[in-house]
């Protein structure tokens, strides 16, 4: 399906102890594609995304990002060489967290330039120029010298997005980026993400915001019990799901009104 995949996950399994959390995931994400992962909590969405940049070490299978393929190494037996490969994967795949995880001891600008300078080896003025560019993009130029504690949740997540963009990754992964936000702040974050999607940023997004998925997704992937059950264009998955599990999920989801309030 994808002719030019940026991300290729093949035969991925993950065990936490005896718990089989991912049961053979195969997923390809094409350049410029926005893929939304939906499913109940506990279905393995977060684990999948965390396995793609090796915040969790997969038990079996392989992850390929922009041509760099890394096999699962559950016993961490390959040591330094493996760690360096993982770092290369992380350079290619940026990640956003539910809890933002800005560095509280640094200003917004310092948060943005830290890794570009120390990891990518940019000169300070290059990194600052890059940071200013992305701060403008997320609309936070005036917060440049604030500490994160002075920002609202929405501003924090937008800062985190700018921080990830400063690494100029090939794909951005979002792990429920708006679930920790007050309802009235969700819109500003989703707005930035929608812009990114429309500009052709390759994205993998775990979300419960169905409205957003409909607007911004090229493809919706429904997961249940560690497997991909069904995937396709948003209107197909959200309006005419084939699998009974998808139907049940969406029915219950809409009935409880979870994830509403955004727009």
Partner 1 sequence: MAQHTDLTRPTAALEPDVAGELAAGLRRSRRRFRLEVLLVWALLIGALIGSLVAIDKIDPVFISTWAPFILGGAGLTIVICLGSILLATVLAVLGALGRLSTNPIIYAVASLYVSLVRGTPLIVQIIFIFFALPQLGIVLPALQAGIIALGFNYGAYMTEIFRAGIQAVPRGQREAAEALAMPERLVMRRIVLPQAIRIVVPAIGNEFIAMIKDSALVSIIGVTELLWRASSVGNSRFRTFEAILIAAAVYWVLTIIFSFFQERLERRMARGDR
Residues that bind partner 1 (CB under 8 A): 53, 55, 83, 87-88, 90-91, 94-95, 97, 99, 101-105, 114-115, 118-119, 147, 149, 160, 163-164, 167
Minimal distance in Å, beta carbon 11 to partner 1? Answer: 24
Is the separation of the CB atoms in 85 and 70 below 8 Å? yes
Q: Which is nearer to partner 1, 37 or 228 (CB)?
A: 37
- Of 167, 56, 69, 41, which Cα lies nearest the Cα of 111? 167
Task: Identify which of 39, 56, 47, 93 has the alpha carbon closest to the alpha carbon of residue 204.
Answer: 93
CB nearer to partner 1: give 79 or 257: 79
Q: Report the residue number, 95 or 237, with the smaller CB distance to partner 1.
A: 95
Tell me whether residue 97 or residue 249 sits nearer to partner 1 (CB atom): 97
Angle ∠(175,176,178) on CA atoms, nearest 5: 135
**Least distance in Å: CB of 227 to partner 1?**
25
Contact by Cβ (8 Å): 4, 31? yes
Q: Specify which residues 5 forms β-bridges with.
A: 30
CB of 91 vs partner 1, minimal distance in Å = 4
Query: Closest approach of Cβ 50 to partner 1, in Å?
Result: 9
Nearest to 51 by CA among 201, 193, 230, 204: 204
């Amino acid at each position: 399906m994808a002719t030019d995949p940026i991300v290729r996950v093949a035969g991925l399994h993950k065990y936490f102890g005896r718990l089989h959390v991912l049961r053979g995931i195969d997923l390809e994400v094409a350049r410029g594609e926005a893929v939304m992962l939906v499913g109940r909590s506990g279905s393995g969405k977060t684990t999948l995304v965390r396995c793609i940049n090796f915040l969790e070490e997969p038990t079996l299978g392989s992850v390929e990002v922009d041509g760099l393929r890394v096999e699962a190494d559950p016993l961490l037996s390959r040591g330094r060489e493996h760690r360096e490969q993982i770092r290369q994967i992380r350079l290619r795949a940026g990640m956003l967290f539910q809890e933002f995880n800005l560095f509280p001891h640094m200003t917004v600008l310092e948060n943005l330039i830290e890794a570009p300078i120390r990891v990518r080896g940019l000169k300070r003025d290059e990194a600052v120029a890059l940071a200013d560019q992305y701060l403008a993009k997320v609309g936070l130029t005036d917060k440049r010298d604030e500490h994160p504690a002075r920002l609202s949740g929405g501003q924090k997540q937008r800062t985190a997005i700018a921080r990830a963009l400063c690494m100029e990754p090939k794909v951005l992964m979002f792990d429920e980026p708006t679930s920790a936000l007050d309802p009235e702040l969700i819109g500003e974050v989703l707005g930035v993400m929608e812009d990114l999607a429309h500009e052709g940023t390759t994205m993998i997004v775990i979300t419960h915001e169905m409205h957003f998925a409909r607007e911004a997704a090229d493809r919706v992937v429904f997961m249940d019990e560690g497997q991909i059950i069904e995937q396709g264009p948003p209107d197909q998955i959200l309006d005419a799901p084939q699998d009974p599990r998808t139907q049940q999920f969406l029915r219950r989801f809409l009935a409880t009104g979870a994830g509403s309030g955004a727009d």
